[in-house]
Amino acid sequence: MDLSEIFKIVLIILLIGCAVAVNLTPSILQAVIIFMSYSSVMCLLWILMESPDLAITEAAVGAGVSGLLFLQTLRKIRREDENAEPGDTDGKGAHR
- Work out the number of other CB atoms within 10 angstroms of the CB of residue 94: 8
Percent of the chain clearing pLDDT 70 (strictly above): 88
**Is there a domain that residue 16 lies in?**
no
Domain of residue 68 covers 27-81
**Is there a domain that residue 10 lies in?**
no
How many distinct structural domains can be found in the chain?
1
pLDDT tens for 25-63 read: 999 999 999 999 999 999 999 999 999 999 999 999 988
At residue 15's C-alpha, the angle toward residues 60 and 36, to 5°, is 35
**Is there a domain that residue 77 lies in?**
yes
**Is there a domain that residue 45 lies in?**
yes
**Is there a domain that residue 32 lies in?**
yes
Q: What is the pLDDT of residue 90?
A: 60
**Is there a domain that residue 87 lies in?**
no
Percent of the chain clearing pLDDT 90 (strictly above): 71
